[in-house]
């Protein structure tokens, strides 16, 4: 496999597993968070800018990668490129705990 999607709900560990796999099997890591953002008061990701959208499309066109993160409505763009998929599923309570810890780490106790 040369193009692998690692995904799950937010906090499932897809970015962490993607990074580990990238290191172990020597495939470049594409983290969805580097290309997409979630605007305040919205619950779906969108490209950060037209330039980021093009960068994402260019990255998908390369021959080898691991794409890691939470996917949403944009996934149909990338679907034809996958030749392997890993889906991570964790209990909602554990994912929410991880997300809270992540936000506190990033933003401090103001969250």
% the chain with pLDDT above 90: 32
- pTM here is 0.75
CA atoms of 93 and 95, how far apart (whole Å) = 6
Structure tokens given for 104: 């506190």
**Rounded average pLDDT over 53-77:** 79
Q: What is the DSSP letter of 44?
A: S
- Helix H segments across the chain? 14-25, 50-60, 75-78, 92-107
Using CA of residue 62, residue 66, residue 69, residue 71, what is the dihedral sign? positive
- Does residue 2 surpass a pLDDT of 70? yes
Lowest mean pLDDT among 20-24, 48-52, 99-103: 48-52
Phi, psi of 27 (to 5 degrees): -120, 140
Residue 81 vs residues 57, 62, 66, 75, 92: alpha-carbon distances, Å: 11, 10, 11, 10, 29
């Amino acid at each position: 496999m040369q193009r692998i999607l690692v995904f799950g709900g937010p906090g499932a560990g897809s970015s962490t597993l993607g990074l580990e796999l990238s290191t172990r099997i020597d495939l470049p890591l594409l983290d969805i968070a580097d290309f997409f953002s979630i605007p305040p008061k919205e619950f779906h990701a969108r490209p950060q800018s037209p330039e980021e959208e093009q960068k994402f499309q260019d990255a998908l066109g390369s021959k080898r990668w691991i794409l890691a993160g939470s996917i949403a409505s944009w996934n149909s763009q990338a679907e034809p490129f996958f030749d392997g998929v890993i889906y991570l599923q964790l209990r909602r309570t554990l994912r929410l705990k991880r997300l809270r810890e992540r936000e506190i780490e990033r933003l401090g106790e103001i969250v």
